[in-house]
Amino acid sequence: MARLPSNPSPSGSLPSLLSSRFTLSRCTPPIQTPFDYFWPPSLESMREWTTKRFLLRFANPRDQQFKLVDIETGDLVAFIRWDVPESMKGLDDGFEVFKVFGDESEEMTKENDSTPPEGANEEKMSEKWDTKNMLVLGLLCTHPAYQSQGAAKALMESVFTIADNEGIQVYVESLSNATGLYKRYGFKEIDRLEFDLSKAGREGKAVMDIMIREPNVPTNK
């Protein structure tokens, strides 16, 4: 496992990273999820939009990203993104922030951060699960050719060990096809988010399980 480069570029690792994301729902046959309903007809438009948002993550001092590579082929196997709380220090070594868009990147990062709806009580929202003090697993993506071969385990376990040593909870919003995996690593369902797909011209609901993993504090502490 290695950190993603602090200076990503469209000519470097980034195309492989984004291809892994798009392959999940645009491969043949397609592996669709209920959460691609907003995608534009043009895949290139979606790539361009996602690339910009992805690059902005490298300008965020609390975002840390790691990749797993096949040492025989050099192919990207999987990658993971963590939103790291300020209180967590075990991931600081070797971490760098990259100004993707020069002096504008800080402001652009703020503009593209997830913000609550207008009029919402942001304080009450943050109080419910207090995620600002948790390690948030923001994104975990494995190339379909490497699924069920331990890639997710390799990316998660070493960071879980750090979280355990520092007594930090881990938070994830899981798609239904990944909930079983997270349960094997100690996550428990605490809530559920449901999205009415009829508002986007589809049928049914999209569901995400809200899960938290309590720290497994070493017995010698």
Q: Which one, of 87, 102, 80, lies nearest residue 166 by Cα? A: 87
Q: Bigger pLDDT: 140 or 14?
A: 140
Tokens 């569901």: give the residue. 207
Q: Where are the domains of the chain?
A: 2-111+129-213
Fold annotation for 2-111+129-213: Aminopeptidase (3.40.630)
pLDDT tens digits along 190-206:
998 888 778 767 778 88
Tens of pLDDT, residues 115-137: 444 544 556 545 555 678 899 99
Q: What CA–CA distance (Å, rounded) separates 195 from 208?
A: 9
In the predicted structure, residue 157 carries a pLDDT above the cut 70? yes
Contact 191, 170 (CB under 8 A): no
d(CA 6, CA 25): 27
Dig out the tokens for 188 from the structure.
């428990």
155/33: higher pLDDT? 155
The pLDDT score that the predictor gives to residue 142 is: 86
In the chain, count H helices and then E strands. Answer: 6, 7
Backbone angles phi, psi at 203, to 5 degrees: -105, 150
pLDDT digits (tens, 9 = 90+) for 36-85: 555 566 667 767 776 777 777 667 777 888 888 899 988 888 889 899 99
Predicted pLDDT of residue 34:
53
154 in the Ramachandran plot: left (φ > 0), alpha (ψ -120 to 50) or beta?
Answer: alpha
Q: What is the structure's pLDDT at 201?
A: 73
A 10 A CB-CB count for 166 gives 16
Residue 36 CB contacts under 8 Å (≥ 6 apart), including other chains:
25
In the block, residue with structure tokens 């309903």: 37
Q: How confident is the model at residue 7 (pLDDT cuts 50, 70, 90)?
A: very low
CA–CA distance, 145 with 25 (Å, rounded to integer): 14
Bridge partners, 172 (sequence order) = 137, 211
Q: How confident is the model at residue 208 (pLDDT cuts 50, 70, 90)?
A: confident
Q: Which residues on neighbouring strands pair with residue 68, listed in sequence order?
A: 78
